[in-house]
Structure 1
Amino acid sequence: MFKRAKVLPYIDTIVICTDRFIDERLARRNGEIHTDLVAQCQRLLLNIIAFIAFDYDLEASSQPGIYDLRDAFNDFIRFANQFIVAGGIPLWIGKLILRINWKYQRALRTVKHYVMNMIAQEQTRQQQRISTNKPRNLISSLVAAVKEDSSTGEVSLSSNEVFDEVSLSILAGFETTSTALSWFFFYISKYPNIQQKIKSELAEHNLTPDKLLTPDILDSLIYIECVTKEVLRFSPIASVVLRQATCDDTIDGIEVKKGDTILLAIQNLHRDPRYWKVDPLQFVPDRFLHEDKCPPQCAFMPFGEGHRSCAGQDLAFLELKTVITRLMQRVTILDPGEEADNSGGLVQRITCFPKHLAVRIHLDQDKTMA
């Protein structure tokens, strides 16, 4: 569903959502300092994944100041992080805690409201559409799987299973990529020379804001590809991945038994000087043009590695590169200096996002957008 060939047709959708984000969130505050970009990036990517996977317009169903799907998922992530940090809590105690916690219950009700609306909307579409075409997106495939098999009378998925699949897909689809986009805003504000290189590359390809982005055009933007990779290398979305030892071993004098759970610190791999020729402690996108173009296997694994790597990594990378390209076609991002705290740091949850992020954003003046 989320392999590269399948997601390329969604470039136009990503651009439309990004333009709406620029017009409604950034242009109205042109030249101002934005201190809420983590939340804004979450809303943008949440809307993109809702359109791509579910043909659903979340922006149209959300109201300013009203507790919505983004707020609910953030609460879910907060609770998940607390359980991960605590560790060892019996399942029955965890269920009891969640049952009596009003914030968790509010989040659950909100998610059910939005997700069940998506499912109902797709069910209506399928009832009204007589077609032999294959399902167009994730939710159409899942809803179709609920229908009874005419020969056996069985259903492939229950309604609860569809709800779980849709909810998990939304959460995984927006939390990860929005975190990476937040870090892009931070680093691009700190390195104006890199931003200028991006804009020069766009100018070389005559990519004014009125030009459509296509798969071929995106593939030709090599430097933006390098910037996207460097954001994912320098500030990986997840801090660790878990793997299970398949045999007894000894690593650096430490005995590892078969079945032991091993935590791999991704940032340590991404910044290990044994694997990177250009100083890995520096933010240098150009490394992917030359010396570090082909890092050793597992030295660069922002989406994990092997058969358990992230199933949606092609979509996530396409989203990130497309949004970055569109932003750089239309805006300039600046560090506010002493006017606001743009010092970085990080908040570690399931993903690691910037703690102090504040940038000034100017809408580039281009007559072709008038």
Structure 2
Amino acid sequence: MLIAAVLIVIAISLIYIILKYRYYTDPDDGIPGLPPEFLFGHSRSTGLLSGTSVSVILSRLQQRYGDVFTFWWGHKRSIVLNRIEHVQYVLSNRHIYDQGSITADGFSLIAPSGLISLQGKIWKRHARIILPILKRAKIAHLIDKITECTDDLIHSGQFIDNHVNTKLAQQFNQLFTNIFARTALNYDPNTNKSSSSSSELSLALTDFIEQSARAMLAAGLPRILQHLFLRMNQTYQRARQIIHSHILAIIHHELSRVKQVNEKPSNLISSFINSFDHDGLNEDELFDEIILLLIGGTETTSSALSWFVYYVSKRPSVQEQIKKELKQNNITVDTQLTVELLDHLVYVDAVVKEVLRHAPVVSAITRCTLQNDEIGKELKSDGLPTVHVRAGDTITIVMNNIHHDPRYWKLDPQVFLPERFLDEDRDHHPCAFLPVSIHLF
């Protein structure tokens, strides 16, 4: 028994040493950073697991270590860049810096065949099909449905004058779940309230978003634990099955319809149907793309709208300017909105930009280095440090740090000031403002 116990202790020690050396040892490349913890990396020591936001953590580390430092997402080491010159170089060289494995791994838990989960040639094939469908001209005809869903929320009685609303995030989540259901799935939650299958779908959409978000927030934990959480999560599995069945039914219906009738697509899935050719998407790939739209569209947009209400509600002068611009363009509660009319709302656009500058919907984006490289080598004369990276290294770009860096803004970046986008900071560096991050794709 004693020998067996000794052997077990030795085996455990060897496994620990091997894993520690292989996955949790910082290479001697001169890039500063906290020492990583076994299994957790920096997730526990920085407070990420206890709820501290990524933006706050990486801002503190920048103050401590400077513009280039390391951060460990679990066992995955990342080089964090905070200079826009470095950022521009990385984002401009897709052939060297592909979709980050951390980002891809996180989304692949939910949708392994979705665009954000892919890299290389497969990513290019999906991007060629998906991105054109998401352009403004392709979704402009959905404005009426979006407006109807928003009116339904406003008139639902959930907003009470002179009453502090503590459920904005949940209400906006439900709003964009309804918008997704109506624009992508041809499901109207108002006209289908009596249908048990429709209410089941509405609940499934909400449950799926909540459980998916919980799994993806645990990005620093070992991947096997994330998989186990979703596999054993009955709420998630049930919601996914309901959504899967509903989407496949619509796909089959649309496939048969488009063969008989030549008309414009009535929803997003209809738009995707045209990709069903020899070089297009199969059913599983299409399902994953729809799932990514559900998660990405709902979580990011509801977050942005919640922050919009938060910032604007505290600034009466901004509210007055918005009302003034609406009046100048003869926009009332009865006005039918169009893309052309929205383009005239210059100040509103500036407010939205300022909200997204202070509260970007994505904290950071990552890139995977495909070959050895030297970032900033050509800009040494400007006093910019050269960052030596190796094939396989992960690069992290932090939106919040750049958005609040006084080196890149003429007006105080800590102050909420929409006018900056109309005056002094109108011609800011393109990489100084990464609001929604199309670079995720």
TM-score by length of 1: 0.71
Is 1:287 aligned to 2:410, yes or no? no
**Structure 2 matches for 1:209-288, cutoff 5 A?**
209-245=333-369, 246-249=371-374, 252=385, 255-288=388-421
Partner SS state of residue 243, structure 1: strand
Measured after TM superposition, the shift of residue 90 of structure 1 is 5.2
Measured after TM superposition, the shift of residue 37 of structure 1 is 0.4
Aligned to 1:72: 208
Q: Which has the higher contact order (CA 8 A, sep 6+)?
A: 1
Percent identical pairs in the alignment equals 37
- Quote the Cα distance in structure 1 between the aligned partners of 2:189 and 2:285: 22
Aligned to 2:175: 44
Is 1:85 aligned to 2:209, yes or no? no
Equivalent AA in structure 2 for residue 54 of structure 1: L
Aligned to 1:123: 252
Measured after TM superposition, the shift of residue 43 of structure 1 is 1.0
Equivalent AA in structure 2 for residue 215 of structure 1: V
Equivalent AA in structure 2 for residue 263 of structure 1: T
Cα distance 1:277–1:114, how it changes in 2: closer, same or farther (>3 A)? Answer: same
Unpaired segments ≥5 residues, structure 2: 1-132, 377-384
- Quote the Cα distance in structure 2 between the aligned partners of 1:158 and 1:253: 44
Cα deviation, 1:167-218, whole Å, max 9, x if unaligned, reads 1221111111111001011101111111111011112222121122222221
Measured after TM superposition, the shift of residue 115 of structure 1 is 4.1
Measured after TM superposition, the shift of residue 253 of structure 1 is 6.4
Measured after TM superposition, the shift of residue 30 of structure 1 is 4.4
Cα distance 1:161–1:105, how it changes in 2: closer, same or farther (>3 A)? Answer: farther
Aligned to 2:123: none
**Structure 2 matches for 1:22-41, cutoff 5 A?**
22-26=154-158, 29-41=160-172
Equivalent AA in structure 2 for residue 78 of structure 1: R
Measured after TM superposition, the shift of residue 144 of structure 1 is 6.0
Cα distance 1:155–1:38, how it changes in 2: closer, same or farther (>3 A)? Answer: same
The one of 133, 146, 152 aligned to 1:14? 146
- Quote the Cα distance in structure 2 between the aligned partners of 1:167 and 1:78: 16
Equivalent AA in structure 2 for residue 55 of structure 1: N
Cα distance 1:173–1:90, how it changes in 2: closer, same or farther (>3 A)? Answer: closer
- Quote the Cα distance in structure 1 between the aligned partners of 2:350 and 2:362: 20
Structure possessing the higher radius of gyration over alpha carbons: 2
8 A contact 1:250–1:256 mirrored in 2: yes
Measured after TM superposition, the shift of residue 248 of structure 1 is 2.4
Measured after TM superposition, the shift of residue 47 of structure 1 is 1.7
Equivalent AA in structure 1 for residue 261 of structure 2: S
Cα distance 1:25–1:266, how it changes in 2: closer, same or farther (>3 A)? Answer: farther
Aligned to 1:133: 263
8 A contact 1:248–1:257 mirrored in 2: yes
- Quote the Cα distance in structure 1 between the aligned partners of 2:368 and 2:397: 11
- Quote the Cα distance in structure 1 between the aligned partners of 2:339 and 2:302: 21
Partner SS state of residue 177, structure 1: helix
Measured after TM superposition, the shift of residue 125 of structure 1 is 5.2
Cα distance 1:32–1:68, how it changes in 2: closer, same or farther (>3 A)? Answer: farther
Measured after TM superposition, the shift of residue 54 of structure 1 is 3.0
Partner SS state of residue 426, structure 2: coil
Unpaired segments ≥5 residues, structure 1: 311-370
Cα distance 1:119–1:175, how it changes in 2: closer, same or farther (>3 A)? Answer: same
Measured after TM superposition, the shift of residue 77 of structure 1 is 1.0
Measured after TM superposition, the shift of residue 22 of structure 1 is 0.3
8 A contact 1:111–1:167 mirrored in 2: no
- Say what the alpha-carbon RMSD is for the aligned residues: 2.8
The more displaced of 134-143 and 172-181 is 134-143
Cα distance 1:58–1:126, how it changes in 2: closer, same or farther (>3 A)? Answer: farther
Aligned to 1:189: 313
Is 1:202 aligned to 2:326, yes or no? yes
Aligned to 1:334: none
Partner SS state of residue 343, structure 2: helix
Aligned to 1:53: 184
